[in-house]
Chain A
């Protein structure tokens, strides 16, 4: 597919990286020649120095034949305008990043009036991901599927957990539970385990399940925690705002600490129920005063990744709070994964995943449609939800008779309000939502999971 990306900041960069590795033809537009230079040296893309709103620049980039334009410059208005110009010039679908809270209530209006295929708000997406973690602190990451009816819950096996040394095939007999183990991340590796697989300390396990089954399973393995009642958010940026709003709605008390007086003022007028503290979040005394030791949730959301990491390490040391660390820029994932940071959130990757899902669903196969997509362990594995639109080889045959490619797992079938954790006898029908976990290859259609 021919894709134009306007703006190569953090999100633009991640998008170029992901999309060019998925065999799309990419043209990048940015006003900064140095950024452009860097990108073209690193990836197999073509680039144009210029303003993405400029009609001529867009024509140069081939807007007339492009399939998709993604506007991710730092400026909301520019992104919207760029999409409008692109839409009027070519016939492409357009995606804009719009993140200013004042437009937040008007997303649907903007989408409709400007003819956008999608509006992304990385900050809001990140905030809802954090709020899911605060709602369910036993997990370090919660991905939701089938409109929230099924979840993929990731948790870490600590020392002393009853799972250590257990074989997967004994899991059900030991705990009498209705969850399906999908993936295990061990070090840099992603494993889709079979019955002989043995759990070890520090494995990060993901299970597919409904919420109430997951709760009983987590209770049995002794890591269940109730949802957090109060949370401290260090840093008062856009993510903090969106997060505070969601948390407050579900009755969680929120304290936001930010160093800028103006920002605090602003937040205070937007969020009357939250406690806004004007001060330095890296001040240990201040954190103690605000009750970090007794906090149940702590999110490090300042603009500096290094500061966030330190704050979370400190929070984990002095309190039992569920911690979430935002990491925006730095890429030393192998080091970060070894630190005790609780959950880490990468807004740029969340955004890229979101757009990737859209791009894959644009491939427009007639059999199935990508509904949700999450990447795990730096993209080594993916969890995808497909809506089965038509009958094909995969429908109507018991799963045990289908030949799937290696490293493929059908985790869950959602049919008319009912969740099925499939066994060999189950069949996929038209209209089902199917959750698939794969590793080592990429798909945009469920039929591609079948081997030869």
Chain B
């Protein structure tokens, strides 16, 4: 382990977080809230710590996969640790563990909250909560790489650890340019939504925080009723942008570079839209009797499906009251998740597609034992290494899920709550069912369970491996 480079990069991260923290401070200033000072203090602390860590240049600049993964995992932890401090200092969330849970939930774009009443929070606090979604959605390293020429070719190791999807591909040859394009698209989508929401009568502050939550596929609302209180038009806009944020960003890149045909040919994205349509259709049929009009039923069905499959976690209705079939569909969608290369979480549509193709291949092998068969995506053969990593991902995923459910069941809550809480944490969704349903929150859990869920959220956001690596003793051995 090259500890010095890890610390050095952590220094960078803290400086950036310091800069990010100035934004809620500005919001506090605009609304003349004293809470704003907490953000200025912590921003200063971040700058100072970052400066101290950057004082000593690392002896060796070698950044191998191991260092890359550890750096990313640590950066997210450290970011959350510092990011939680202003909540405590400003008094918005007095308990540090709760504040940490809220911040990790924010950065990992989960959107699970421990607050029983969010509306009492200061504007600065609400802004920071939503802004963590936006930073965490595309990833802080992607952001840094777009700005700083960090360290040549090995930066790919950092991007690999932070980007969602079974195989990470760059859009253009340089990491830096790729990162710039990704953030360009990200910012453009955010502004589009902000603009539309404002036009349809949402107050600017609400529109801003909702856009952060949507495009980052986070899900922190600034109202206790999430999005339910807003007009149907606004709900529909949010639905569209949630679904768009769950699309693989290379689609937008293809469209931008005028390769329209290619963009519509991507198998993963086709499946993604197909799944949304089918599930929403089934839920419409199933919940038709609950709402007065078909329009309302369709609106709620699409909103909930979009919110869950993209792992955002907004809600316009309490789906915990839906019939069992609809609830089960939603839980299934929690597992599937958004497309690879988007800001969403979950197993990812492409992995699910590969898994189904693997199953078909194995079944076909029973019938024709000597058949040679390859798995293809977008008419390209999927490499054996990718297949292996998909299978291993799934194995780790389920092990982590079962162990976590076991661990938090010491709180003696009912099974559905425990299970859906873990599922929603690993998949970065937000709400679960029963006690953690869309109208409830995570404050029912004990401190220990909260730590387990925090780990799950981070593991889920960073695609399991970076966080699991931290548990391997070999990682820490000197080389």
Per a CB cutoff under 8 Å, which of A25, A33, A42 touches B173? A25
CB distance from B374 to the nearest CB of A (A): 13
Does B334 sit at the interface, judged by CB under 8 A?
A: no
Q: Are A46 and B173 in touch, CB under 8 angstroms?
A: yes
Q: Are B173 and A21 in touch, CB under 8 angstroms?
A: no
Q: Are B177 and A25 in touch, CB under 8 angstroms?
A: yes
Does B56 sit at the interface, judged by CB under 8 A?
A: no
Does B152 sit at the interface, judged by CB under 8 A?
A: yes
Does B175 sit at the interface, judged by CB under 8 A?
A: yes
Does A106 sit at the interface, judged by CB under 8 A?
A: no
Per a CB cutoff under 8 Å, which of B173, B176, B383 touches A45? B173
Q: Are B177 and A20 in touch, CB under 8 angstroms?
A: no
Query: Which residues on B sit within 8 Å (CB–CB) of A20?
Result: 153
Residues of A256-278 contacting chain B, CB below 8 A: none
Per the CB 8 Å criterion, the residue count for chain B at the interface is 16
Does B155 sit at the interface, judged by CB under 8 A?
A: yes
Residues of B134-182 contacting chain A, CB below 8 A: 152-157, 169-170, 172-177
Does A290 sit at the interface, judged by CB under 8 A?
A: no
Candidate in B65, B174, B177, B383 with the most chain A CB atoms within 10 angstroms: B174
Give the complex CA separation of A45 and B153 in angstroms: 8
CB distance from A425 to the nearest CB of B (A): 41
Query: Which residues on A sit within 8 Å (CB–CB) of B173?
Result: 2, 25-27, 44-46
CB distance from B353 to the nearest CB of A (A): 21
Q: Are A44 and B156 in touch, CB under 8 angstroms?
A: yes
Closest B-chain residue to A41, C-beta based? B156
CB distance from B385 to the nearest CB of A (A): 8
Give the complex CA separation of A25 and B174 in angstroms: 6
Does A43 sit at the interface, judged by CB under 8 A?
A: yes
- Pair count A-B, CB < 8 A: 33
Q: Are B172 and A46 in touch, CB under 8 angstroms?
A: yes
CB distance from A448 to the nearest CB of B (A): 19
Give the complex CA separation of A43 and B155 in angstroms: 9
Main secondary structure of the interface of B (DSSP, over half): helix
Does A40 sit at the interface, judged by CB under 8 A?
A: yes
A9-31, CB under 8 A of B: which get 1 and which 0?
Answer: 00000000000110001110000
Give the complex CA separation of A315 and B284 in angstroms: 87
CB distance from B97 to the nearest CB of A (A): 39
Query: Which residues on B sit within 8 Å (CB–CB) of A33?
Result: 383
Query: Which residues on A sit within 8 Å (CB–CB) of B172?
Result: 25, 46
Q: Are A46 and B170 in touch, CB under 8 angstroms?
A: yes
Q: Are B155 and A44 in touch, CB under 8 angstroms?
A: yes
Closest B-chain residue to A61, C-beta based? B173
Q: Are A44 and B174 in touch, CB under 8 angstroms?
A: yes
Query: Which residues on B sit within 8 Å (CB–CB) of A26?
Result: 173
Per a CB cutoff under 8 Å, which of B153, B157, B177 touches A43? B153
Query: Which residues on A sit within 8 Å (CB–CB) of B175?
Result: 44
Query: Which residues on A sit within 8 Å (CB–CB) of B157?
Result: 41
Query: Which residues on A sit within 8 Å (CB–CB) of B156?
Result: 40-41, 44
Give the complex CA separation of A26 and B153 in angstroms: 12
CB distance from A56 to the nearest CB of B (A): 11
CB distance from A14 to the nearest CB of B (A): 14
Query: Which residues on A sit within 8 Å (CB–CB) of B383?
Result: 33
A38-75, CB under 8 A of B: which get 1 and which 0?
Answer: 00111111100000000000000000000000000000
Give the complex CA separation of A20 and B175 in angstroms: 12
Q: Give residues in B with beta carbon < 8 Å to A.
A: 65, 152-157, 169-170, 172-177, 383
Q: Give residues in A with beta carbon < 8 Å to B.
A: 2, 20-21, 25-27, 33, 40-46
Given contacts A42-B154, A44-B156, 19 further A-B contacts (CB under 8 A): A2-B173, A20-B153, A21-B152, A25-B172, A25-B173, A25-B177, A33-B383, A40-B156, A41-B65, A41-B156, A41-B157, A42-B153, A43-B152, A44-B152, A44-B155, A44-B174, A45-B173, A46-B170, A46-B173
Q: What are 20 A-B pairs at a CB distance below 8 A? A: A20-B153, A21-B152, A25-B173, A25-B174, A25-B177, A26-B173, A41-B65, A41-B156, A42-B153, A43-B152, A43-B153, A44-B152, A44-B153, A44-B155, A44-B156, A44-B176, A45-B153, A46-B169, A46-B170, A46-B172
Per CB-CB distance, the 3 closest pairs between chain A and chain B, nearest first, are A43-B153, A25-B173, A46-B173
